[in-house]
Structure 1
Amino acid sequence: MTGTPMIINALGQLDNPNAPQSMEAAADLNPTSEQFSIDARTLADARASGLTAVNITLGYVMGDLPPYEHTLHEIDVWDAIVTRHTNDLLKVTTVADIRTARRDGRIGVVYGFQNAVAVGDDVGRIATFAQRGVRVVQLAYNQANRLGGGSAAPATTRLSSFGREVIDALNDHHLMVDLSHSGEQTCLDAVVHSRVPVSINHTGCRALTDLPRNKSDEELRLVASRGGFVGIYFMPFLNPTGHARAADVVEHIVHAVDVCGEDHVGIGTDGPVTAIDDLDAYRARLAEHVAQRQEAGVSAAGERADTLPFVVDLRGVDQFRELIRLLEQRGYSAGRIEKIMGRNFVDYAERVWAA
């Protein structure tokens, strides 16, 4: 296709995984934002890739840190990062900010949570998060919490009454309700309860690979039917062997488009733009990290010592251009590709943030 479309990563990372600080963080079960390296290479690679904006994970996900206090601290950390790199980064709180980032050649940074535990028992905290610029809140990580089930909990776990209160508050404050890691019944309950369209920002299709982190056609269809958004990730769960390839990403996108329609599907890679340089050394560290996650009970089914948490032939600064090439090869039109690479997320954000 001629020209580069707007590229929005519905869940990704800004980090140089090759920096010593980040390598230490990768070995940590509960890394903090301060441990990652948003260095010159991170920024140069992100810009070279064509990335327009990315939803990053900040705040409490799991572990022993005090969820609310840690989350507020992480917001402070990211505010300082964006301020320090104001020529390269722009904090996104509106769709207009995404368009400004594209116009200025900067990377838009969307603040998002992958666990709503920081809400505690006080839904009033959601107003604080909204005021601080958070725009995406995932209800649960892999474990169950007070709101409902994660992907590692029994699939029949329901959305709780407190979960419904939290969704109401998220709707009131125009924040995205993200159901990526939610268990199936919690996801279905949440879609029906929400007054505003919801998202599954990073997932795969269970019809192609039957793993709990992937979403059933029923979940995908219901989210889309209510005006929501589904992002396909670049993760091992896209292939039953755990060794996902670029072709698997394409197949899951194709299936999601078939189920949801072309106006509701995008990408949420769940990874950085900068590629790991030494894969052999990384594999040696990976086994220990996966074992730690399994021992702590926070891993997802399909995580193994030999499964890389990314798609090995769809990474680095050319990952988005390569995906576009493969979608073109599949016969997708320029207009459909433009929607998948970013416009669908922007249109969805308009429906939520500006509601």
Structure 2
Amino acid sequence: MNRRTFMTNTALAAAAVGVNLSSGGAFASTSSATRISREQYNDWFVFDGLGVLYDINDPTGGIQDNWRMTERLRRDVLASGLSCYRQTTGAPFPAYPGDDAFEQAVTILSQHQKLIDANSDVLTLVRTFNDIEQAQKDNKVAVTLGFQNSHVIGDNLDHIDTFKHLGVLTMQLTYNGQNQIGGGANTNPRLPLTEFGHKVVEKMNESNVLIDLSHSGERTCLEALAASKAPVTISHSGCRALADFPRNKTDKELRLLADRGGLFGVYFMPFLAPNSKANSDHLVAHIEHAINVCGEDHVSIGTDGGYTGIDDMEKVQQSTDKMTQHRLDNGAAAAGEKIGNLNFMPDIVGPDQFYKLANKLADRGHSSTRIEKVLGLNAYNLMKEVWK
């Protein structure tokens, strides 16, 4: 019996006796729960499916004029235990067709590469999977680049290879709006993967580009999953069964993703709570629900945030509200984004967030083997498979 069959049978048996798995009922805390030691954690491959090098306490973001990270940012990133993260690049916000999206993508891509080059004692740009392995040996953080909106390729499939050669190994098909590929989370969920979208999926498969279906509308997501011949990721999302927001994924999407070998990353975002006031308990609940639906080999994390602690929560709330208002004004915001949100888990935020999450899962009775998979090993295996 494989893990997916075991988890399915466990869910059916639990339902028969009235255990609510969606709220984590199968993973009750036990007095014999084994804590994850620092030594054990430090040996793990820890992956963030969507992160950013940014110090929210610093007006410069923690990036100096010469593209060097401040000591605070450098210290917190290294202290986090992070092995690899995916950095958003490209131009996610402009609505399709956007005449300058390609040029914006190239410019932003160049800026991220300058940042990596300027901090090469700490960071390594991932161009092949071998770079991830080498970064591990060199005790550096591997940075893989990814788009959050593939509208930047326009109507030219060759641009997929162009961007891949520039270091973009993961491409999200849509952002919140509609583009030439399909529908995003803010659009009608019945919008299909377009005829051109099918060609995009085929081309990304041929080029060994990892397809990301975060932010996609439901039909576009399901049709892309069915069309792809390679495993795909939903790198940063939540479970619709626990919080009914368009940014979150239905169980139907999660099952098909896992059945086709893909990976679901749970984000550290307000959409994990029905009232958009999420904390790490919501995070754990979504991870557990995803394990119930997908199996432990198909679940990961993608914070959609950074790695520094918070010095002044009130000040950060004000800056977050300002950013949220900007996103609302320019149409980039998703349903559920509102003033008062915090785009991180306030009770574990900071360089210890992954270690704290590991032990919250341990306290719920999850094995160290499973926790290691969720924190990075599953992502490691997926990237190794797709980036041949």
Give your verdict on TM over 0.5: yes
Map of 1:157-236 to 2, 5 A cutoff?
A: 157-236=191-270
Partner of 1:7: 46
Map of 1:1-355 to 2, 5 A cutoff?
A: 1-2=36-37, 3-4=40-41, 5-22=44-61, 38-63=69-94, 66-354=100-388
Quote the Cα distance in structure 1 between the aligned partners of 2:338 and 2:361: 29
Q: Secondary structure at the match of 1:323?
A: helix
Structure 1 residues 65 and 233, CA gap change in structure 2 (3 angstroms): farther
State the shift of 1:101 in Å: 1.7
Quote the Cα distance in structure 2 between the aligned partners of 1:286 and 1:201: 22
Give aligned-pair identity as a percent.
Answer: 40
Quote the Cα distance in structure 2 between the aligned partners of 1:101 and 1:299: 35
Partner of 1:29: none
Contact 1:115 1:138 in 2 (8 A): yes
Residues 254-276 of structure 1, C-alpha deviations (whole Å, 9 max, x = no match): 00011000001010000000133
Quote the Cα distance in structure 2 between the aligned partners of 1:182 and 1:275: 31
**Which is worse superposed, 285-294 or 132-141?**
285-294
Contact 1:22 1:35 in 2 (8 A): no
Quote the Cα distance in structure 1 between the aligned partners of 2:174 and 2:371: 30
Partner of 1:28: none
Q: Secondary structure at the match of 2:297?
A: coil
User: What TM-score do you get using the length of structure 2 for normalisation?
Assistant: 0.86
Quote the Cα distance in structure 1 between the aligned partners of 2:79 and 2:234: 27
Quote the Cα distance in structure 1 between the aligned partners of 2:101 and 2:309: 30
Residues 96-126 of structure 1, C-alpha deviations (whole Å, 9 max, x = no match): 2222222222111000000001101111101
- Number of corresponding residues: 346
Name segments (4+ residues, structure 1) moved above 3 Å.
33-38
Q: Secondary structure at the match of 2:234?
A: strand
Contact 1:142 1:298 in 2 (8 A): yes
State the shift of 1:205 in Å: 0.4
Quote the Cα distance in structure 1 between the aligned partners of 2:228 and 2:320: 38
Structure 2 unmatched runs, 5+ = 1-35
Structure 1 unmatched runs, 5+ = 26-32
